[in-house]
């Protein structure tokens, strides 16, 4: 027999002027299971709360309904008051008599009657409430950062500087990412490597950071605070403890014609190589695909010349396990392949290049040592055309979204070209100029006004070669769609930013969602921009969408702050309003039949398989189990479960059932 206390708040005039609160309390007093009912002017005030606490003690109440404002307002207040009186806070429910009743209806019997029925519904619900205790989940205070571009570097450093261990995993032989390939950065034109490489070195030297390059995530299991990552360390074919990074092997390697990824194909590298001179770690790896030894079993020059005998041809991939409490995904982006612009002749004409290739041409560490020379014959181009929006904002052939960074880097490219090739002529074909950002618009204006870059608003229809020149045919829409034809020496395509290869696969490994373009999805685009729907996994940088460096760094620091906040608690405390799969005595153990359809319904991958074993360890039954660390309490699984083996604490089947019935039962 329950002993429920009902407390009707007048909220001054807010409820009291419309609802006959005394009558509601009187009606409540005669409801089944109600031991005490009263009304009061301001229930949330100190005396009001004291009234509730005293009643709990005096009448030994085992449940409380407060008829007051919305539970979204004062539920925590009243639950806390109950707890102070020794009643489990989850045995308190709020009847919304203000927002859902007095404020929306006129004074009258109907309104009072409605208030009574609302209270009745919650009395019947609270009679079936169970005492609940918050869930504590331990946290492994070590973070895994996947991707060693500027986002990963920033996140790793920020977390490490908070005093937490970090594992940074990079799939390439060196960290640095796309930023290390850039020449100067907009809008300040400071040298990208100059600002990046100190950070790279800091990562390598940080006592809290363990760096795994040439490594990839194999799998991730577990949940927030308690992940287990399997990391594949790809065979570098060297013993890193012996290698001093002297570089002798790379100079002696006879296989010298491999296109350099770092130089976007404009330079060459050897089979044993360090991607670029400032690489971290600055130790080579052997590219098995191109190495003569791996292909034919011959050669082995590097092995012969290595002064420390660090070459290990027999080395195999290794998989290591790491326990981590949080994951930050910073796998960056890629640029769109240009093969679907046959009309621009990329690949056919050596001097039609991508923006990333131009970065390498303009970079002091690039294949031309920073001089703008076109790839075909090494001549300095006198006329360069830059084409913005190559693939971006092009639902028909490319991608519908704006790649965001192209307007700015194209302005930068044109500007760099004008700075480096005095007397050169540059043209930018554009759709719109999107230069929202600190000093961005000024930067574009400078390109146009000070560096005399010719901006042509219009699309390029076609590029073809004629007598050693690239004929660029387009229109100028600002001049009434006048055809424009430019005889260029070089054309630079601002190809769209797209998600990185393998991002879909990675998302599936991490159980995080992604958008139709395979960029990782944030939990909320505005309010939870660096969280994912999987608790404990965060995202930052261009793996979410194309981003410029400041935004990338900002999100990386944001994600790091989220990780640090998580790690700052002794353990994770969660509301106990989670789903639970029933357990019962043998031989049933649970009414769950283990169809695991709930697993596909759960947005949080919170449902696990539990093997129920007999004493000899033989599996009798496999049933579902909700991980309270992951469950967010939506209850989708509960409504889906055919055998009603899952229930949601705080909104249980019995509670909801009783509330619905009671709301329809005439009380008079």
Partner 1 sequence: MSNDNNSAFEPRIIAFVCNWCTYAGADLTGTSRIKYATNVRIVRFPCTGRIDFLLLLKAFASGADGIIVSGCHPNDCHYTSGNFHARRRWMVFRSLLDTLGIDTRRIRYSWVSAAEGAKWADLVNDTVATIRELGPYNEYKKVADYLGKEAGDE
Partner 2 sequence: MNNLTELANKLLGDGTATKVIGYEEAHGKTRPCFCTEAADTGRLVLDERCTNNIAVYLTKPEIVGGHKVAVTATLPVLRTMVQLAMENQLPDGTTAIVSTESGEGLAVLPTVGDMERVVAGTPLDISGKERELRERLKAMSREERWQFWLGEMSRCIKCYACRAACPLCYCTRCIVDNNCPQWIQPWASPLASMEWQISRVMHMAGRCVACGACKQACPMGIPIHLLTLSLAEDIQNEFGVAPGSVMDHGNVLSTFKPGDKEDFIR
Partner 3 sequence: MENLHITNGQLAQWLDDMRRDGLRIFAPVAQGGKTDFKFLAEGDTVAEDYVQTAQSAKRIVLPMAEVLFSYRKHGKDIEVANPGTDRFNDTIIWKARPCDARAMRQVAEVFTRDYDDAIFEARRSHTTIVAFSCNTCDDCCFCTSVGGSPGGTEGSDILVTTLTDGGGALVEVLTPKGEGLAAKYLAGAARADGIDKQAHLADVRVLFSADEVRAKLDGAFDSPVWQEQSERCLGCGACAFVCPVCTCFDIQEDAHGARGRRIRCWDSCGFSMFTQHTSGHNPRPTQAARWRQRILHKFSYIPEKLGEAGCTGCGRCSRACPVDMNISEHLKAIAGHE
Q: Please give the residues from 14 up to 43 whose contact with partner 3 meets the rule CB under 8 A.
A: 30-32
The residues, any chain, with a CB within 8 Å of residue 94's CB and separated by 6 or more, are: 65, 66, 67, 68, 69, 70, 71, 74, 75, 78, 122
Segment contacting partner 1 (CB under 8 A): 194-202, 260-268, 473-481, 652-660?
A: 652-660
DSSP structure string for 335-399: EPPSTT-GGGTBTTBTTEEEHHHHHHHHSTTSTTTT----TTT-PPPSEEEEEEEESTT-TTTS-
Which of 603, 611, 643, 667 is the binder for partner 1 (CB under 8 A)? 603
Q: Of these partners, partner 2, partner 3, partner 1, none, which one is at the site of residue 533 (CB under 5 to 8 Å by kind)?
A: partner 1
Smaller CB separation from partner 1, 99 or 239? 99
> To which H or E segment does residue 249 belong?
helix 248-252
Pick one of partner 3, partner 1, partner 2, none as the site partner of residue 593 (Cβ within 5 to 8 A by kind).
partner 2
- Tell whether residue 661 is a contact of partner 3 (CB under 8 A): yes
Q: For residues 539 and 543, give the distance between their C-alpha atoms in angstroms, rounded to a whole number.
A: 7
- By CB under 8 A, tell whether 124 contacts partner 3: yes
Sort strands 326-329 and 142-146 into parallel, antiparallel or unpaired: parallel
**C-alpha triplet 446, 449, 455: angle, nearest 5°:** 95
CA–CA distance, 555 with 331 (Å, rounded to integer)? 13
Of the candidates 97, 56, 59, the one whose C-alpha atom is nearest the C-alpha of residue 79 is 56
What is the secondary structure of 109-163 as a DSSP string? HHHHHHHHHHHHHHHHHHTT------EEEE---EEEEE--SHHHHHHHHHHHHTT
Interface pattern 547-586 for partner 1 (x via CB under 8 A): ------------------------------x---------
71: contact with partner 1 by CB under 8 A: yes
Contact criterion met (CB below 8 Å) for 192 and 150: no
Return left, alpha or beta for 513; rule: phi > 0 is left, psi -120 to 50 is alpha, else beta.
Answer: beta
645 binds, among partner 3, partner 1, partner 2, none (CB under 5 to 8 A by kind): partner 2
Cβ 83 to partner 3, closest distance in Å? 28
Q: Identify what 161 binds: partner 3, partner 1, partner 2, none; CB under 5 to 8 Å per kind.
A: none
Q: Which of 121, 295, 343, 445 binds partner 1 (CB under 8 A)?
A: 121
Among 57, 59, 60, 72, binds partner 1 (CB under 8 A): 72
Residues 482-521 that bind partner 1 (CB under 8 A): 513
| C-alpha span between 250 and 443 (Å, rounded) | 41
CB 655, min distance to partner 2, A: 9
Q: Which of residues 567-596 bind partner 3 (CB under 8 A)?
A: 584-588
**Which two tokens mark 182?**
């850039």
In whole angstroms, the minimum distance from the beta carbon of 131 to partner 3 comes to: 22
CA distances to 185, 434, 444, 454, 476 from 441, rounded to whole Å, are 15, 8, 5, 16, 22
Q: Tell me which of partner 1, partner 3, partner 2, none is bound by residue 441, counting a contact when its beta carbon lies within the kind-specific cut-off of 5 to 8 angstroms.
A: none
309 contact, one of partner 1, partner 3, partner 2, none, CB 5-8 Å limit per kind: none
Q: How far is the CB of 661 from partner 2 (least distance, A)?
A: 9
Q: How far apart are the first and last CA of the chain?
A: 22
- Binding footprint of partner 3 on the chain (CB under 8 A): 30-32, 120, 124, 584-588, 658, 661-662, 665
- Binding footprint of partner 1 on the chain (CB under 8 A): 70-72, 96, 98-101, 103-106, 110-111, 113-114, 117-118, 121, 513, 523, 533, 577, 601, 603-604, 632-636, 638-640, 648, 651, 653, 656-657, 659-661, 663-665
């Amino acid at each position: 027999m329950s002993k429920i206390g009902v407390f009707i708040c007048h909220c001054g005039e807010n409820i009291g002027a419309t609802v006959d609160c005394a009558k509601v309390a009187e009606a409540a007093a005669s409801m089944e299971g109600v031991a005490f009912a009263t009304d009061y002017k301001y229930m949330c005030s100190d005396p009001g709360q004291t009234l509730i606490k005293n009643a709990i003690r005096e009448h030994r109440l085992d449940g409380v309904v407060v008829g007051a404002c919305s539970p979204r307002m004062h539920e925590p207040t009243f639950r806390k008051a109950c707890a102070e009186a020794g009643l489990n806070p989850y045995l308190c429910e709020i009847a919304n008599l203000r927002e859902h009743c007095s404020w929306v209806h006129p004074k009258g019997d109907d309104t009072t009657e409605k208030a009574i029925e609302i209270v009745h519904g919650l009395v019947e619900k609270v009679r079936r409430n169970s005492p609940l205790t918050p869930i504590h989940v331990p946290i492994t205070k070590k973070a895994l950062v996947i991707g060693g571009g500027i986002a990963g570097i920033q996140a790793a450093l920020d977390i490490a500087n908070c005093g937490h261990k970090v594992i940074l995993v990079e799939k390439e032989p060196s960290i640095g990412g796309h930023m290390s390939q850039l020449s100067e950065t907009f809008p300040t034109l400071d040298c990208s490597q100059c600002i990046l490489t100190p950070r790279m070195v800091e990562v390598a030297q940080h006592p809290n950071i363990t760096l795994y390059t040439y490594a990839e995530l194999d799998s991730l299991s577990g949940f927030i605070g308690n992940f287990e990552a399997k990391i594949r360390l790809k065979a570098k074919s060297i013993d890193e403890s012996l290698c001093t990074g002297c570089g002798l092997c790379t100079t002696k390697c006879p296989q010298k014609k491999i296109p350099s990824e770092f130089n976007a194909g404009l330079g060459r590298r050897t089979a044993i190589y360090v991607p670029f001179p400032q690489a971290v770690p600055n130790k080579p790896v052997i590219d098995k695909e191109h190495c003569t030894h791996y292909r034919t079993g011959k050669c082995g020059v590097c092995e012969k010349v290595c002064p420390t005998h660090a070459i290990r041809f027999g080395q195999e991939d290794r998989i290591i396990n790491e326990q981590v409490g949080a994951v930050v995904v910073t796998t960056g982006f890629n640029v769109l392949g240009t093969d679907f612009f046959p009309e621009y002749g990329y690949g056919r004409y050596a001097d039609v290049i991508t923006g990333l290739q131009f970065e390498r041409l303009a970079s002091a560490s690039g294949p031309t040592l920073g001089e703008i020379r076109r790839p075909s014959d090494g001549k300095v181009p006198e006329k360069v055309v830059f084409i913005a929006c190559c693939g971006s904002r092009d639902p028909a052939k490319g991608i519908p979204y704006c790649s965001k960074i192209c307007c700015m880097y194209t302005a930068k490219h044109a500007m760099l070209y004008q700075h480096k090739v005095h007397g050169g002529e540059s043209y930018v074909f554009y759709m719109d100029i999107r230069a929202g950002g600190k000093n961005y618009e000024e930067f574009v204006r400078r390109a146009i006004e000070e560096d005399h870059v010719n901006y042509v608003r219009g699309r390029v229809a076609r590029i073809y070669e004629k007598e050693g020149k690239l004929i660029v045919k387009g229109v100028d829409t600002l001049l009434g769609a006048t055809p424009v034809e430019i005889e260029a020496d070089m054309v630079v395509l601002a190809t769209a930013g797209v998600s990185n290869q393998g991002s879909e696969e990675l998302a599936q490994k991490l159980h995080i969602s992604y958008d139709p373009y395979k960029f990782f999805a944030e939990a909320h685009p505005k309010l939870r921009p660096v969280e994912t729907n999987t608790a404990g996994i965060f995202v930052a940088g261009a793996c979410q969408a194309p981003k410029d460096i400041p935004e990338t760094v900002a999100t990386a620091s944001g994600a790091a702050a989220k990780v640090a906040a998580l790690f700052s608690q002794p353990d994770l405390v969660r509301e106990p309003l989670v789903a639970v799969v029933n357990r019962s005595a043998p031989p049933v153990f649970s009414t769950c039949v283990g169809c695991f359809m709930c697993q596909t319904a759960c947005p949080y991958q919170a449902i696990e398989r539990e093997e129920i074993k007999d004493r000899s360890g033989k599996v009798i039954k496999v049933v579902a189990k909700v991980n309270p660390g992951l469950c967010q309490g939506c209850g989708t699984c509960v409504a889906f479960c055919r055998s009603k083996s899952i229930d949601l604490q705080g909104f249980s089947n019995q509670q909801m059932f009783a509330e619905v019935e009671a709301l329809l039962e005439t009380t008079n």
